[in-house]
Structure 1
Amino acid sequence: MVRENSESMRPPRALWVPFPLGRPLGKAADADFQQKVIMSALDLLNRSEGPILEDFPYGVPAVAAESAAACPVAFPNKTVVDDSWTNRLQQELVLLTPWYEFSCQRRDGRTLVGLSPQPPAANILRLGACLDEAVLPTDIVWLKSAVEDLRAYYIEAMTAQPGDYEVGTLQAKFWRETALGAAILTVYHQFLESKDNRLRLMARILAPREAVEELSILEEESR
């Protein structure tokens, strides 16, 4: 959840959680922790006055180093790839597809992919075309569902191997190493510089502040 959005919208009850985008309940497959999040949210209904914006007091439980699983995907070094956005994104999706399919099999067919009416291959082609042609993707209804689907596709592929995954490590790998992460951040900066208030608001939804700030620091250090 983007905290600034809740502060400006002032809903009657809201629980802010310090988890990565796409993980509203924190750690996947941890029923006890997820129940704490749900009960904290439901407890807000017992308050007599509002609006209320309350912080959830716990972060995602750390994964012990000896039990942490490794991402099975090795992404190409972006600094040595000189190609169009469309080609880079399509090749990356091809690389991830067998791992995504394996992940679905391991989870008995359960997946978070499917919010968008278009399949991931079509969405990644459209996103790549927008970037290659320098066309701002102003259809934010399509963009939001497409990005959420693609991000879920990537994370599920990256967690195909059995075991516990450190959420922060996964998120860092996604934003630092993947062509999709770079593509989303490119659109993020385009939207942030737009005069259209809708697009500036959408920028906050596209990428978490932590990823943007961390990558900005890394870029400064590499100069």
Structure 2
Amino acid sequence: MTNFKVFLAALPLLLCPSKNGQEVETQPGFFVTYNCDKATVTSVRAVANSAANVNDCVHAYDDEPADQFPDDDAPDANCEAENAACTTNSNILETSLNECQAREEQWGKKQYALNQCPTNDNKIVTYGNLQYKIYCNKRTPVMADLRITSDGFDECLTACSHEAKCKGVHYVVNWQKPCKLLSKIADANSPPKLSETVMIAALPAIRR
């Protein structure tokens, strides 16, 4: 059974004050309570906003309290969708960052190699236990590859110094893997020749 309190701001004189506070069944199972000299409000929120004293007003209510936590799958579904989108965006950004860092590293290696010329052209440099003579934009006329790597210029020559089979280096600046360790080079009587590719030949001052 539901009991509703109805605010009556203005009642005929025959109702007030004689029926003030009385509860009347107007329809089977439906009751109203007369409240004289009380202002009506349209919602519970209106009561909270307008009533200075809880005793100054009366508001409608239901015997069964409203469910404060209604079942609603929409917020969870939205949250899952947002999390999925966030994860996707995060993965895309991380991939872009890794690619950018790889390009930056490759560019740094390229610039460092380019700076060897003409500064060190025809000069002797030492890496590990070997001395190399640098030839800018030249290559040995006889060669065979031992290994090709993405090492920077310094790392490339150091690797050759530590590899007994390495006879020299061709560093091809614009290649993705610019470091070529050579297992065979021309003898000292065959000087390097000009190359059409931007590269550096680093050959041991004393052949191995």
Smaller-chain TM-score range?
Answer: under 0.3
Normalised by the size of structure 1, how large is the TM-score?
0.17
The structure with the largest alpha-carbon Rg is 2
More strand by share: 2
Q: Higher relative contact order by CA 8 Å / sep ≥ 6: 1 or 2?
A: 1
More helix by share: 1
